[in-house]
Structure 1
Amino acid sequence: MNRRYPRFCHLCGTPLALVGRYLVYPNGLVICPACESRAPRCQRCGLPGRHLQQVGGALLCPTCRTQVALCGCCGQALLETAYLIGDSPVKYCQRCLEERPRCDVCQAPMNEQGRSLPGRRGESRRCAACWAEAVQGLDEASALYQGVLTVLAQTPGLTLPSLPRLHLCERAVLQELHQQRQPGSRPGGEGEAGDPHLLGIFLLQGREQDIYIEHYLPRDLFQAVAAHELAHAWQAWQGLEGLPLLVAEGFAEWAAYHVVQALGQERMLRRLLRRRDLYGQGLQRFLALEQQQGRTAVLAAVRGSLPL
């Protein structure tokens, strides 16, 4: 059986019979000793080549150009470790994660397309992705807010005799309101004061009801927060005071889950289901109860006539 030997160097075309020696790489690339020592190499796979191009600051071969990811912040080629944040498919380099300021919403590092928004009590940061989806003012927020109320009445079946007043504010204001809340107010916000997840709060003072939501949130997040806080308003109208946090917050997350699902916000739905804190634990309990006994059992549980 005759064995075929390569005749030419794949890079320079030199007849291999003239040089006597050659190298064969696992991908079938055949090169002469001169090209092995002098030819430029792909910075990702290390193979020498003649069709290399600069991509994201790295010299890459055609194969690696189709495979390498670029940092979503600085645009540099990710030749080694790439980092993900949450469920976003965007990848980042270690330097951007360590050295750049982060978006207040998704914690992605900020690039030049992001926005830093000055406020009376500090600065708010939005990365380019969150800013592109941000609710830009009270008119837009009010329309979304009214839409959430409509879905809330249709899907989880929670109706309110009147709509709490909506306010957009800085996160620092939410934290101050959380600290200053009167004893008769519903807990409505997330976590403790200073918690980066404190995005909204429901306040009840006498017969006055107000909902405060952080300004410039992405639309899907704004709708989820609005649904959560409106569920607290429903609890107040039902006279459900002093509920355990697991019940009060878990039920509000359950209501938000159904609103988000009805609106087709798949990314936000995954975010709610991914939570493992008290809010997520309460949501999972209410979802399990609903699956086993139906929505009537959920309403009975939050009213205290059925153990959760």
Structure 2
Amino acid sequence: MSRRYPRFCHLCGTPLALVERYLMYSNGLVICPTCESTAPRCQRCALPGRHLERVGGALLCPTCRAQVAFCACCGRALLETAYMIGDSPLKYCQRCLEERPRCDICQAPLNERGRLLPGRHGESRRCGACWAEAVHSPNEAAPLYQRIFLLLPQEPGLTLPLLPRLHLCERALLQELHQQRRESLQPGEKEGAESDPHLLGIFVQQGREQDIYIEHYLPRDLFQAVAAHELAHAWQAWQGLDGLPLLVGEGFAEWTAYHVLLALGEERMAQRLLHRRDLYGQGLQRFLTLEQHQGRTAVLAAARGSLLL
């Protein structure tokens, strides 16, 4: 079989018989010396071309244009390293991660769709994605909260005689309430409480008055997870379960939130609970293992402290 030789430059059409030499790239592109020295090059693959497009601040050939990712914050073409946060598929450039304020919820850098929300106790920050899904007001929160309260007796099987009052507040207030709780504990009860990281919500009881405080402007799925978690603490209070080890108290509350989320169809948030590696995640895994081997009756017994976890 005879070998076929290229006859024309792929960029300018000059007959290759008229030039002393030509260049052939690995992808089959053949060009004359003039195009090799004068044609602009794609900033991703470095191949010369006559139909390049400037997109995201970079000059790209059609092939690279279809393959390259762009920073979800500033829109720059990600020609080198792309950074991802958590389980989000979005990608970011290093400059945005280093220079822009970060979302309090997901840690993504803020773009023009994000929000900086001033407050009495400090500023709250929400990226565009979290803000788009945020629970913005008590009127939006109330039906979600009520739905979880009504769901609890069926999934996972907790009955509360009364629905605690709900308050949306700034994170700084949650931290203040958490500190007040620590100060009210006896010396032996304070062990482990200082490291409690769950400051998106808190359950407070004074006498028979029960209140649940949840950080304002949480995304809907996260709000539901926090509400279910804190309602589990309200159930523990009605059971007279004070002073539980954090692994038991918080692990059971996460177990409750996990099952509520699944019942609501919030599988992605439920999976996020499974991926936690802190005390909350460890407690959740222990309760799930107990449920798998001995059923929910054993889970409720462990939650009441009558069965070793």
TM-score range, shorter chain: over 0.9
Per-residue deviation at 1:269? 1.2
Structure 2 matches for 1:195-206, cutoff 5 A? 195=197, 197-206=198-207
Matches of 1:110 and 1:163, distance apart in 2: 36
What corresponds to 2:95 in structure 1?
Answer: 95
What is the 5 A alignment of 1:1-308? 1-181=1-181, 183=184, 192=194, 195=197, 197-308=198-309
| Paired amino acid for 1:273 | L
- Aligned-partner SS, 1:92: coil
Amino acid at match of 1:8: F
Judge conservation of contact 1:192–1:198 (CA < 8 Å) in 2: no
After superposition, the Cα gap between the structure-2 partners of 1:282 and 1:193, relative to the gap in structure 1 and judged at 3 Å, is: closer
State the Cα distance separating 1:47 from its structure 2 match: 0.6
Letter in 2 for 1:148: I
Gaps in structure 2 of 5+ consecutive residues: none
Separation in structure 1 between the aligned mates of residue 196 and residue 243 of structure 2, nearest angstrom: 23
> What letter matches 2:143 in structure 1?
A
Deviation string 1:227-258 (CA, Å, 9 cap, x unpaired) is 00000000000111111100000000000000
Pairs aligned (count): 304
State the 1:184 CA deviation. Answer: 7.0
More off after superposition, 221-230 vs 257-266: 257-266
1:36 counterpart letter in structure 2:
E
Q: CA deviation at 1:305?
A: 2.1
Secondary structure (helix, strand or coil) at the match of 2:203 reads: strand
One-letter amino acid of the counterpart of residue 304, structure 2 = R
Letter of the 1:161 counterpart = P
Please list the CA deviations of residues 252-305 of structure 1 after superposition, one character each: whole Å capped at 9, or x if unmatched: 000000001111112211210110000000000000111111111100111122
Could you list the per-position Cα deviations for residues 111-136 of structure 1 after superposition, in whole angstroms to 9, with x for gaps in the alignment?
11111111001110111000000001
Counterparts of 1:108 and 1:84 in 2: how far apart (Å)?
A: 9
Listed as ranges, the gaps of 5+ residues in structure 1 are: none
CA distance in 1, matches of 2:81, 2:196: 32
Q: TM-score, normalised by structure 2?
A: 0.95
The alignment's C-alpha RMSD in Å is 1.7
Deviation at 1:148, TM superposition (A): 1.1
Q: Using the alignment, how far apart are the partners of 1:295 and 1:98 within structure 2?
A: 46
Identical-pair percentage: 80
